[in-house]
Each structure stands twice: as C-alpha cells, then as structure tokens.
C-alpha cells in the first residue's frame, strides 16, 4: 500500500516552508496532488511520486540556503 503524506510533511522533507510549497502549486510550478474535501477543507494527499516531482523542481530552481537561482 502506498504511503501518503500531508503538505506540511512534504514541505519539511524538501526543506521549504509550507506556504512556499502551496505557492508553487498555485502558480503552476508543480502539479497539485490528488485531494479530497472534508467538511469544506481541501486535504491534499501526497505520494512518493509527488515528493520526487517537488524535489526535482526545487533542485532545478533553488540554491541550498540561498533561495531562488538567478536567471541568466
């Protein structure tokens, strides 16, 4: 059975703030994981594959400890 993670757990594993991760979703930098609504609240369920996509995006666009990479 596949393991599911919360948005906060994924943010912690990748090393970014939860709001940064949500912003990446909102602006279309990473695909939104599947979700369900519980009492009007959207609950995202992240998989290992989603985690890999987030890590790949971060590695391509962020420098360790220094924020965004500068565009050439």
Residue 37 maps to a domain: yes
Token representation of residue 68: 């965004």
Q: Which residue range(s) make up the domain with 27?
A: 7-65
How many structural domains is the chain composed of?
Answer: 1
DSSP class of residue 3?
Answer: -
pLDDT category at 48 given cuts 50, 70, 90 is: very high
Write the CA distances from 38 to 35, 44, 66, integer angstroms. 10, 11, 37
Residue 62 pLDDT? 79
Residue 67 pLDDT? 63
Check whether 68 has a pLDDT greater than 90.
no
Check whether 55 has a pLDDT greater than 90.
yes
Q: Which residue has the higher pLDDT, 45 or 2?
A: 45
What's the pLDDT tens digit per position in 27-39? 999 999 998 898 9
């Amino acid at each position: 059975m596949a393991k599911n993670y919360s948005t906060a757990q994924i943010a912690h594993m990748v090393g970014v703030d939860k709001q940064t991760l949500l912003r990446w979703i909102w602006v279309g930098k990473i695909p939104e994981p599947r979700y369900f609504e519980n009492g009007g609240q959207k609950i995202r369920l992240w998989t290992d594959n989603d985690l890999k996509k987030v890590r790949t995006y971060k590695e391509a666009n962020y420098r360790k400890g220094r924020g965004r990479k500068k565009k050439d």
